[in-house]
Structure 1
Amino acid sequence: MELLDDIPMHRYREIGWSFLTSTSFPIFCVYLLMVNQLGTIKRAIPIPYDLRQLMGVYNLVISVVNVYCFVGFMQCLLEAPSLYEKTPNAKLSFIFYVYWITKVCELLDTVFMILRHRFRQISPLHVYHHASMLLLSDLGYTRYAWAAFAMPLMLNALVHVFLYLYYGLTAMGWQPSWKRRLTELQIVQFVIDLVHASIGVLYHNFCYWSLGYGLSMLYLFTAFYIRTYLRAGENQKRQ
Structure 2
Amino acid sequence: MVYESVARKIWEFKSTLDYVDDWPLMSSPIPVLAIWTAYIVFVLKAGPEYMKSRPAYGLHTVLKLYNLFQVIFSLVQFYLGLELLRPTGYLDITCNEDPATKKKIATFIYIYFLAKLSELADTILFVLRKKQNQVTFLHVYHHSLTLLAVWLTLKFEPVHNTIFLATINSFVHVIMYAYYGLSAFPSLTKYLWWKKYITAMQVIQFVFVIIHAVRNYIYSDCMPSYVLFFTITVNEALFIYLFGEFFVRSYLRKDNKNTKTN
TM-score by length of 2: 0.79
Question: Residues 138-192 of structure 1, C-alpha deviation per residue, up to 9 Å, x if partnerless?
Answer: 2343333322111101111010011011111111332322211111111110000
**Matched position secondary structure for 2:92:** coil
Question: Residues 63-84 of structure 1, C-alpha deviation per residue, up to 9 Å, x if partnerless?
Answer: 1111000110111111248733
What residue in structure 2 maps to residue 194 of structure 1?
A: 210
What residue in structure 2 maps to residue 234 of structure 1?
A: 256
Instruction: Find 1:211's aligned residue among 203, 213, 233.
Output: 233
User: For structure 1, which runs of at least 5 residues remain unmatched after alignment?
Assistant: 1-6
User: For structure 2, which runs of at least 5 residues remain unmatched after alignment?
Assistant: 14-25
What residue in structure 2 maps to residue 72 of structure 1?
A: 80
Distance 1:75 1:214 in 2: 24
Distance 1:139 1:79 in 2: 26
**Shift in Å, 1:100:** 1.4
Larger Rg: 2
What residue in structure 2 maps to residue 25 of structure 1?
A: 33
What residue in structure 2 maps to residue 115 of structure 1?
A: 128
In structure 2, relative to structure 1, the CA distance for the partners of 1:164 and 1:125 (3 Å cut) is same
Deviates more, 1:123-132 or 1:204-213: 204-213
* Amino acid across the alignment from 2:41: L
Identity over the aligned pairs, expressed in percent?
26
What residue in structure 1 maps to residue 242 of structure 2?
A: 220
Question: Residues 93-149 of structure 1, C-alpha deviation per residue, up to 9 Å, x if partnerless?
Answer: 222222211111111111111111000011111101111111122234333332211
Q: Give yes or no for the alignment of 1:94 onto 2:84.
A: no
Distance 1:143 1:68 in 2: 24
* Amino acid across the alignment from 1:227: R
Deviates more, 1:111-120 or 1:167-176: 167-176
Distance 1:40 1:194 in 2: 39
* Amino acid across the alignment from 1:216: L
**Shift in Å, 1:194:** 1.0
The count of aligned residue pairs is: 231
Q: Give yes or no for the alignment of 1:147 onto 2:160.
A: yes
Q: Give yes or no for the alignment of 1:165 onto 2:178.
A: yes
Distance 1:134 1:228 in 2: 26
RMSD value, Cα: 2.7
**Shift in Å, 1:23:** 4.2
Distance 1:78 1:185 in 2: 22
The 8 Å contact of residues 161 and 213 in structure 2, kept in 1 or not, is answered as no
In structure 2, relative to structure 1, the CA distance for the partners of 1:177 and 1:102 (3 Å cut) is same
* Amino acid across the alignment from 1:100: F
